Amino acid sequence: MSGVEPLHQRLAEAILFASAEPVPVKSLVDRLPAESDVTAVLAALEAAYRGRGVNLVRIGDAWAFRTAPDLAPLLTEERQVQRRLSRAAMETLAIIAYHQPVTRAEIENIRGVQLSRGTLDSLFELGWIRPKGRRAAPGRPVTWATTTAFLDHFGLAGLDDLPGIDDLKAAGLLDARPAIQVYGNAGETDAPDGD
């Protein structure tokens, strides 16, 4: 891409290559020379790596080199080391992803059951959630949000890539029928009409 200083592009490439974690754009702005057009540098690098074995990809507000999607299966080594998340942890993660920032009490209200402390701890240890701040409410409860590691693990460029209701229904994760058909009409009785 013309107009991008080769030194700036090479420096950004080196920073991204050396980092084990996705590099936030703000970090690149801070580390590249002041006259750098970071957006243009990233666009040039993204174009330069397109179609190669390694691609430069956006993950939330950060960028990282990742194996090209078509080559990833060829490099995968099957090792099941991951621990399986409980249903409560998966529900909690989904609530945080779709409703963030959200407090523990709000999670419990949405789920309809009390949340065990270990659930948030396990998601925090995985690096998928982080404290986002405190709600301006009595007790100033901590709010939770997802992290760049969450986006990276699930292959999402940003929260806009989370599946919508239609996607979840198509995948069979939500019942596509109206709730009245699933649960029946609460006001209905089995008594015959008109006697």
Cis peptide before 101 (omega within 30 of 0): yes
Output the pLDDT for position 194.
47
Residue type, 156: L
pLDDT (tens, 9 = 90+) of the chain, 195 residues, equals 457 899 999 999 999 999 989 999 999 999 999 999 999 999 999 999 999 999 999 999 999 999 998 988 888 776 555 667 888 898 899 999 999 899 999 999 988 889 887 899 999 998 999 999 998 889 899 999 999 999 988 888 888 888 887 776 776 666 555 555 545 554 444 444 444
CATH code of domain 7-69: 1.10.10.10
Give yes or no on whether 7-69 and 87-178 have one common fold: yes
Architecture of the domain defined by 87-178: Orthogonal Bundle (1.10)
Domain locations in the chain as residue ranges: 7-69, 87-178
d(CA 75, CA 81): 17
d(CA 79, CA 20): 21
By CB neighbour count within 10 A (0-12 exposed, 13-18 middle, 19+ buried), where does 177 fall?
exposed
d(CA 56, CA 59): 10
Output the pLDDT for position 124.
92
Length of the chain as a residue count: 195
Whether the predicted model's global pTM rises above the 0.75 cut: no
Using the structure block, give the residue that is written with the tokens 């986002």: 132
Residue type, 165: I
Output the pLDDT for position 80.
56
Tell me 30's DSSP state: H
Phi, psi of 5, deg, nearest 5? -65, 120
